[in-house]
Every structure is written in C-alpha cells, then in structure tokens.
Structure 1
Amino acid sequence: MGSTKMESYFVFMSYDPEYERLRADRTKRGTHELDLYLSTKHDELLATTLEPGSYNKTSSLVIVDGFAVEITQDQANELRSAKGVRVVEKNEELV
C-alpha cells in the first residue's frame, strides 16, 4: 500500500512555446491570458493524472510555469512520469 501522508510539492513544467509567447506579452490583457492559460494547463494535468479529490493545488507559479500542490509521495511519483512535467520536488523547510 502506498503513502497517504499529504505533503507540499512543487511541479515544474517542460518548455512550452505558448507559455513563452504569453509571458512575453507584458500588457494587462497578456498577463490575464497567461494566468488563465497556466491555471487551466496545470488543472488539466492534475485532473488527467491523479484521482479527483485526492490533491489540493495551492497555486500556479507564473514566473516558472509550475505549481504547488498537496499530494502524497506516490502521487508525486505519478506526476514525475506525466507528459510535460520536468521536475517534481518536495517543499522542504530550511532550518
């Protein structure tokens, strides 16, 4: 049986030309389009990779095309093999 402890992870996406195009548009409209594009992209990845209701996306990170999500270690391993995902890293506290 897999891990059931929910922890915070950062998921960073692979190169996406549409993200780069939208990020280059510094207008208010361009910023809105980028936010919407990334939120939808990240939500769709989670919905197609993980069981509905088994995760909690806490934010999309516009500057790096990534997002923060609360998931189990097993789910992090699933995301690591998902198409378009570059890196999945556990959020560690620095002491």
Structure 2
Amino acid sequence: MGERTEVYFVFMNFDPEYERLRNDRSKEGMEELDTYLSNKHDQLLEKLLPPNSYRKKSSLAIVDGFSVEITKHQAAILRSAKEVRVVEKNQEFA
C-alpha cells in the first residue's frame, strides 16, 4: 500500500489575472474567475503530479487556492513549485 493521503490547502503566488478577474463582481465575472482558477489549479497538479495520484477537492476563489488530497511527498513537490506560495496540511479540529 502507498503513502497515506491527507487533505492539504495550496495557496498560490500573486497572479495579476486573478486580481483582475476578482475585481469583476458581476455574475459572469465570478463564473469566469471560478473557471480560470479551476483550470489553473488543475494544470498545476497535472504538470507536477502523476495522473490519478491525487484528488482535487475544490478551488477557492476568495484566496486563489485549492484543497487537494495528496501524500506528504506530493505536498513537498507542490511546495517547491514557483507558482505556489504555501502548502498547509488541513488541521482537523475535534
């Protein structure tokens, strides 16, 4: 059996396109932002991690980040990517 996966939050570095889209508060603007971020986050994961080795849970438009189920080793790979600002393990609160 492989390494145990856990949920991590990945926060991206400053992205002028994200900032531009985020300033458009219309319904279309919000949909465009969601699509842009989802694609951007998917592309980052596809570029860095083997297919089917992770499970992206959601993109977070409010902070340009996403949650993903990955191993500790995969978290280290994402941490070293130039596009990524922070990778944090989800802390479960009892």
Does the pair score TM above 0.5? yes
Q: What band does the TM-score fall into relative to the shorter chain?
A: over 0.9
Q: 1:94 offset after TM fit, Å?
A: 2.2
Once the two structures are TM-superposed, the CA of residue 83 in structure 1 deviates from its matched residue by: 1.9
Q: Deviations over 1:47-84 (max 9, x none)?
A: 00001100000000000000000000000000000121
Q: Report percent identity of matched pairs.
A: 66
Instruction: Classify the secondary structure of the residue corresponding to 1:64.
Output: coil
Q: How does 1:12-31 map to 2 (within 5 A)?
A: 12-31=11-30
Structure 2, unaligned runs of 5 or more:
none
Alignment of 1:38-53 (within 5 A): 38-53=37-52
Alpha-carbon displacement from aligned partner over 1:2-57 (angstroms, at most 9, x marks no partner): x7100000000000000000000001110110000000000000000001100000
Structure 2 residue aligned with 1:73: 72
Separation in 1, partners of 2:84, 2:58: 16
Q: Which runs of 4+ in 1 moved over 6 A?
A: none
Q: How many residues align?
A: 93
Output the TM-score relative to the length of structure 2. 0.96
Aligned counterpart, 1:8: 7
Residue 8 of structure 1 aligns to a residue whose secondary structure is strand
Distance 1:44 1:4 in 2: 23
